[in-house]
Chains A and B, each alone.
Chain A
Amino acid sequence: AQSVTQLGSHVSVSEGALVLLRCNYSSSVPPYLFWYVQYPNQGLQLLLKYTSAATLVKGINGFEAEFKKSETSFHLTKPSAHMSDAAEYFCAVSGSSGANNLFFGTGTRLTVIP
């Protein structure tokens, strides 16, 4: 079975500061891992994905995430926050056997302070 835990339902950072959103996963098979972003009143947009290739994954809008099997983590980072990064971020996991079904974390709302 797969599950995801996102630590911190709300994170606030100053504009220009490092963004770090935490995600830990549990999976009975080698996982595929994803980060999605949701802007207010919109659907979810894929930021980046890990599918068992390189452990450091680069995504859109300057975000990246590192898969650490020993820590069962897939934290999302961005070196310098921008006001436009304010949104809700979801981590999700699926089984690497080809299963598409996603199991989502409860989300982290990012606030960027000018």
Chain B
Amino acid sequence: NAGVTQTPKFQVLKTGQSMTLQCAQDMNHEYMSWYRQDPGMGLRLIHYSVGAGITDQGEVPNGYNVSRSTTEDFPLRLLSAAPSQTSVYFCASSYVGGGGQFFGPGTRLTVL
């Protein structure tokens, strides 16, 4: 199993550009989520999904969109990038029931 994969590993955007961060898992997990990690702030939940077709907002959803058309994939879209979205983004997945999540390797995003 590849586990949780994320692409790209690094990305530089200009303010106002849009992009999609990709996340895929091959463990048949119902639950998937996106977090952002900023220095001194730990990880904060952006959006999550408990199954295909079901998404919901986390702590910091503004400026981000998600969709879940398949069990395997959970892309995160930045519609109009802002410097405040410079961060490291992590995707995670697990079975529904709170047993602990598996994290991907992260995407380091810089917005100029």
Contacts and interface: CB of A to CB of B under 8 A. Distances in A.
Interface residues of A, number: 26
Contact of B42 (A90, A99, A101): A90
Contacts of A96: 98
B105 interface: yes
B103 A44 contact: yes
Interface in A84-108: 90, 92, 94-96, 98-107
Nearest to A100: B31
A92 B37 CA distance: 14
Interface residues of B, number: 27
Contacts of B92: 44
Contacts of B43: 44, 90, 92, 102, 104
A94 B40 CA distance: 20
A92 to B, nearest CB: 8
Nearest to A90: B42
B89 to A, nearest CB: 11
Interface in A40-77: 42-46, 49, 51
Given A43-B104, A101-B45, A102-B43, 9 more contacts: A36-B103, A42-B106, A43-B90, A43-B103, A43-B105, A44-B92, A49-B100, A100-B101, A106-B41
Interface of B: 4, 31, 33, 35, 40-45, 48, 50, 58, 90, 92, 94, 96-106
